[in-house]
A and B are shown apart, each in its own frame.
Chain A
Amino acid sequence: GNSVTQMEGPVTLSEEAFLTINCTYTATGYPSLFWYVQYPGEGLQLLLKATKADDKGSNKGFEATYRKETTSFHLEKGSVQVSDSAVYFCALTNSGYSTLTFGKGTMLLVSP
């Protein structure tokens, strides 16, 4: 079956620091990969996605590259802001499955 493993949080950074949140997956076939973000008190929002190997998804300064050889989709941002404080979820969907499989989420706390 499908599974997603994320680094446990919380990740605590100072403003303008470099961010990496690790995500690895197990899936059959050729899954599409996603990062979702949940800001405090809000619902899940799609942050970025990649649908095939070597694709890079990017949005709001965040990037993630679909690495099939290492089954990874690590989230990065060069300079985080306080407003990036949120919970980040890595997820996948597979052509043989009809739902998203999520990681457990990683809380990011950015201090001024």
Chain B
Amino acid sequence: GAGVSQSPSNKVTEKGKDVELRCDPISGHTALYWYRQSLGQGLEFLIYFQGNSAPDKSGLPSDRFSAERTGGSVSTLTIQRTQQEDSAVYLCASSETLNTEAFFGQGTRLTVV
């Protein structure tokens, strides 16, 4: 596609529910990144993929967070048993290769009530 696409754009969920956030990167981009933007916290790196592989998962805030990428394309970030502190904007980005220019999606605003 023309740009990085994320869905849904907004998600309101009840505390304790699971949520899935989707990212469609720019076609042909091998690297994909997830970031979290919380009020007053700036941008926090969560995880990156090179192809379908995520070499470093240490940025994920807790074991309730997981991510996968299939076919070197679409990625899903899953948050289990959501908590109120998970409320944030989750941003996905992709780049042609690692350490080249990253292009961001518009984000998914997650609100846990």
Q: Please list the residues of chain A having a beta carbon within 8 angstroms of any beta carbon in chain B.
A: 32, 34, 36, 42-46, 49, 89, 93-95, 97-105
Chain B interface residue count: which class? 20 to 34
Q: Please list the residues of chain B having a beta carbon within 8 angstroms of any beta carbon in chain A.
A: 31, 33, 41-43, 45, 48, 50, 55-56, 59, 91, 93, 98-99, 101-107
Nearest chain B CB to A49 CB, angstrom units: 7
Known: A43-B105, A43-B107, A44-B91. A99 touches B33 (CB 8 A): yes
Given contacts A43-B106, A98-B56, A105-B43, 16 further A-B contacts (CB under 8 A): A43-B104, A44-B93, A44-B104, A45-B104, A46-B101, A49-B101, A89-B42, A94-B99, A98-B31, A98-B55, A98-B98, A98-B99, A100-B43, A100-B45, A100-B102, A101-B45
User: What residues of chain B lie closer than 8 Å to A49, measured between beta carbons?
Assistant: 101
Cα(A75)–Cα(B26), bound, Å: 28
